[in-house]
Structure 1
Amino acid sequence: MFENYHPVTSKIVEILTTNNVWFETFEHEPVRTSEEASKVRDGYTIDQGAKALIVRVKISNANKKFVMLVLPGIARFDVDKVKLLFEAKDIRFATEQEVDEITEGVKPGGVPPFGNLFDLEVIADPSLFENEKIIFNAGDKSFSVGMYSKDYKEIMNPQIESIT
């Protein structure tokens, strides 16, 4: 069923199935932004979208790492809060090439909030869990998964920090 999508799509469905949690899937036209996605996901609002961003955190000249930030689709992350969290000198979005390398080919806009699949530390804003359900692109800009936010929190066990 998922052979037309990135292999990470099947991995996410497998994780959710193995954990015996409720989820639903949506196939839709390709979307890149949270705004576009909210228009094609019936029954979900933009604030239920779980936006996954890969950023590079520069702690020192010798210590740089990529992390995943997960926040509601309508929100923007606060650079100063993230800098403070990591005691970082600088933060920037991963480039399209870096995203491609980290995710083994997932395109920006399709990156799912499952940083563990890419060996990334995951930081989630607490406001994400104010909604009973969340929805996200699951490895492809044309495929979304909706699930209960409490199940996402339990399965992913992200570090919860105010980053918006």
Structure 2
Amino acid sequence: MIQPRLERYLRERGTPYRFLGHPRAIASQETAEAEGISGWQLAKSVVVDLAAGDEVICVVPAPTWVDLDAVCDATETEDAILSDEDRMRELFPGCEVGAEPPFGGLWNLPVIFDPSLLAIDRILMNAGTHDDLIELRTEDYLILERPLLAPIAVMPGEPWRHAMPAEV
């Protein structure tokens, strides 16, 4: 179970937080609905494998997807793909696949945080299971994790930034 490990991580760093239980939900949007909140208040973690063999946790609003081209730009790598489930189990012991908390300091992974999430004061995110969320102030999360801020989120169906025509 991840909760004691996550609690210890936050407590040792003096970061205030609150755990919330909710009816089991797998998809991020289902989780937001179970909590009775907008998906824009829920941050989801998406783990991306970079060309150099490293991984990065991408934190984006629940209704969005990760723009892998933008991740390549932010990390100055040539290629990026979504991590597979087997790799997720290795990287996040004790977590259910798809419910990984976006705490790179806990997992020794870098974090990229989409700036659109700066618009909310309190952020909700998965806490390692599909039944639990953690809530903390967005500012506290940024102080704790010191993520790279980069626009990496795109709405489903929108072209990635590299596919969009350049403005003249």
TM range (shorter): 0.7 to 0.9
Number of the residue aligned with 1:118: 107
* Structure 1: 5+ residue stretches without partners: 1-5
Q: Deviations over 1:72-118 (max 9, x none)?
A: 11222212111122232321111100000111242222100112211
Number of the residue aligned with 1:10: 4
Number of the residue aligned with 1:53: 46
Distance 1:138 1:77 in 2: 20
Q: Deviations over 1:14-61 (max 9, x none)?
A: 33334444432211222221111001214x321111111111011xxx
TM-score, normalised to structure 2's length? Answer: 0.83
Q: Which amino acid aligns with 2:50?
A: V
Distance 1:149 1:76 in 2: 20
How far is the alpha carbon of 1:156 from its aligned partner?
1.3
How far is the alpha carbon of 1:153 from its aligned partner?
0.7
Number of the residue aligned with 1:36: 30
TM-score, normalised to structure 1's length? Answer: 0.85
Q: Is the 8 A contact 1:96 1:107 kept in 2?
A: no
Runs of 4+ in 1 over 6 A off after TM superposition: none
Identity of aligned residues (%): 26
Distance 2:15 2:63 in 1: 26
Distance 1:19 1:45 in 2: 29
Q: Is the 8 A contact 2:60 2:113 kept in 1?
A: yes
SS in structure 1 at match of 2:65:
coil
Q: Is the 8 A contact 2:94 2:128 kept in 1?
A: no
Distance 1:95 1:74 in 2: 21
Q: Which amino acid aligns with 1:36?
A: E
Q: Is the 8 A contact 2:41 2:123 kept in 1?
A: yes
Q: Is the 8 A contact 2:42 2:62 kept in 1?
A: yes
Q: Is the 8 A contact 1:31 1:109 kept in 2?
A: no
Q: Does 1:158 align with 2:139?
A: no
Number of equivalences: 153
Q: Is the 8 A contact 2:42 2:123 kept in 1?
A: yes
